[in-house]
Amino acid sequence: MARRKPITAKKPAEKDGKPAGKRQSNAERSAYFARREAAKVLRSALQGDARRRAIGSIKSLVYGPSVRNKKATFALVCETLKHNQVVVMLSSTGLDLVAVDMRCNAVDCHVGIELNLNLAVIKEVMEEANVVSSKWKKQNDLLYIIAYDLLFGQQDLLTGDAEKHLMSKKNALQSALSRILKRKGLKNVADLMALDKTSELQKPRYVRVNTLKTDTESVISELRKQYVVQEDDTVPDLLILPPGADLHNHPLVKNGSVFLQGKGSSMPAVALDPKPGWEVIDACAAPGNKTVHLAALMKGKGKIIACELNKERVERLKNNVKLSGATNVKVKHEDFLNLDPTDPSHSKIRAILLDPSCSGSGTALDRLDHLLPSHNADGSGNADLTRLRKLAAFQKRVLEHALSFPAVERIVYSTCSIHQIENEDVVNSVLPLASSHAFNLETPFPQWPRRGLPTFDSSQHLLRTDLVEDKEGFFVALFVRRENLEDRRRKKQRRTQRKPLNFFVARLLKLV
């Protein structure tokens, strides 16, 4: 009888994102998965940037529920993209660095934070070293992350097939980097980064208390165990913590008792001022911070229709609504522009919040948009005017559509943009239509000092936050229907007239 050949186990393959081969240490496994999570975030960010239609900011992508090792992933993405908008345009051998530096707040993760590398340089190094074979072309994002770690991160934690591929090309990568630096007239990467030494953005951490689940006093008491906490003097239930306070893993955030929401972002819902029992539309609702803020202001009573067109953002919206405990929100995977104002189901809509897609220029630093290729791609420091015009045209359509709902009394139009074309110009363009529907511009937060640019007569009613003074640039416009204003004035007048009569009736009853 012929002897059977012994069965030899095949080498385990890297499958479903799991490392193959010998058993890994916890640190190696953590680094392995962080690189792959970072690659997914990088891919989403770059694809959204290329289409000029981001699914979310870099921060929101990293701090979403699907990413486990958030700090390491955040730092890897930041350090790979860091100074991506460095402009290499003086000459073929010169280097002119013009960028705004936003340091990653993750100093305790495994990446060397002080070693920053331009994504463009990583690409150039990999192309010069000719290390990307056809097998790996579809995983460029992962290779960029690994190349950063290989050259400037923790080489001893590089495990996995993609890591081994680049490890075998390490000498070629280092030689390519040396040649590139030499061509640019620099000795090392430290010289490269020394050309750009801008200050960090010192922005307070704002926390909005979710009054559907807790109260402000309880949250202050809990947070003061770790931080100095102040109450904001403009927006109710908004707390101010020191810059750099990292609450992403705090129990109050995880259980939905508080939301990490900036001051400018918290103003539109308060300006809309929906009452409990009202029917309200949040027209462009994802990720849902403003939606659940509306629900809290309405004390969970009434109805909120939250519209969102993007499928992935709908899921984020649903998750945030569920986390908040809001039971009066109906999420619709639908374009707000497709809602029929004459439909009987919309006959009782009394307020609409509009926060349409915008350039995001007012929150670009906070969102880390300045790290993406499209930011100042022309090197001029100017936004893409063609894109701004398209955004403004869309914003105008959305605002005009909101004005056509027959029972609506209050409309808030807000952006996180600093550009006049998206703000004052959009509002001014719809004023004739607004007037024909009996709407006036009213003044949200009358005590707020920064108002609209003086481009038309009633621009003083508009609200702006300032990038320098407030660390973010938001815009808010409030439309109120005149009939509603007159009704309120008449009611107030009637109450004033009744007051003396009620007083005398009460006195007579006491005498009897």
Per-residue DSSP letters for 298-336? TTT-SEEEEE---HHHHHHHHHHHHHHT--SEEEE-S-G
* pLDDT (0 to 100) of residue 169: 81
Ligand-binding site membership of 50 (annotated): no
- Tell me the two tokens of residue 168: 């075998």
* pLDDT (0 to 100) of residue 440: 98
Ligand-binding site membership of 290 (annotated): yes
Is the CB of residue 173 less than 8 Å from the CB of residue 121?
Answer: no
* pLDDT (0 to 100) of residue 35: 80
Is the CB of residue 37 less than 8 Å from the CB of residue 68?
Answer: yes
* pLDDT (0 to 100) of residue 507: 58
* pLDDT (0 to 100) of residue 272: 99
Ligand-binding site membership of 289 (annotated): yes
In a structure prediction context, what are the per-residue pLDDT tens digits for the chain, which is 512 residues long? 455 444 444 444 444 445 555 566 777 777 788 788 878 877 777 666 555 555 566 667 777 677 777 777 777 777 776 533 322 222 222 222 222 232 233 222 223 222 234 466 677 777 777 766 666 666 777 777 777 777 776 666 667 788 888 888 888 888 887 887 787 777 776 665 554 443 344 789 999 999 999 999 999 999 999 999 999 999 999 999 999 898 989 999 999 999 999 999 999 999 999 999 999 999 999 999 999 999 999 999 999 999 999 998 999 999 999 999 999 999 999 999 999 999 999 999 999 999 999 998 898 666 555 445 555 444 444 557 899 999 999 999 999 999 999 999 999 999 999 999 999 999 999 999 999 999 999 999 999 999 999 999 999 999 999 988 898 999 999 999 998 666 656 666 776 666 555 655 555 555 55
Write the burial class of residue 116 (CB in 10 Å: 0-12 exposed, 13-18 middle, 19+ buried).
Answer: buried
Write the burial class of residue 437 (CB in 10 Å: 0-12 exposed, 13-18 middle, 19+ buried).
Answer: middle
Estimate to the nearest angstrom the gap between the alpha carbon of 19 and the chain centroid. Answer: 32
CA dihedral 466, 434, 276, 272 (to 10 degrees): 0
Is the CB of residue 116 less than 8 Å from the CB of residue 97?
Answer: no
Ligand-binding site membership of 308 (annotated): yes
Is the CB of residue 83 less than 8 Å from the CB of residue 118?
Answer: yes
- Tell me the two tokens of residue 161: 């097939």
Estimate to the nearest angstrom the gap between the alpha carbon of 193 and the chain centroid. Answer: 27
Is the CB of residue 298 less than 8 Å from the CB of residue 270?
Answer: no
Q: What is the CA radius of gyration of the chain?
A: 27
- State residue 419 phi and psi, 5-degree precision: -85, 130
Of the listed 78, 307, 358, 416, which one is catalytic?
Answer: 416
Give the Cα separation of 260 and 258 in Å (integer). Answer: 7
Residues in contact with 262: Cβ distance below 8 Å, sequence separation at least 6, in sequence order: 206, 363, 366, 472
* pLDDT (0 to 100) of residue 189: 65
Identify the residue whose tokens are 């660095």.
97
Is 109 noted as a catalytic residue in this protein?
A: no
Helix intervals (H) in 414-459: 424-436
- State residue 329 phi and psi, 5-degree precision: -110, 130
Give the Cα separation of 63 and 43 in Å (integer). Answer: 15
- Tell me the two tokens of residue 491: 């009611």
Q: Does the model's pTM come out above 0.75?
A: no
Looking at beta carbons, which pairs linking 230-234 to residues 24 or more positions away fall under 8 Å?
232/206, 232/263, 234/263, 234/267, 234/445, 234/447, 234/448
Is the CB of residue 121 less than 8 Å from the CB of residue 179?
Answer: no
Ligand-binding site membership of 472 (annotated): no
Residues in contact with 277: Cβ distance below 8 Å, sequence separation at least 6, in sequence order: 298, 301, 302
Is the CB of residue 311 less than 8 Å from the CB of residue 287?
Answer: no
Ligand-binding site membership of 288 (annotated): yes
Amino acid letter for position 485: L
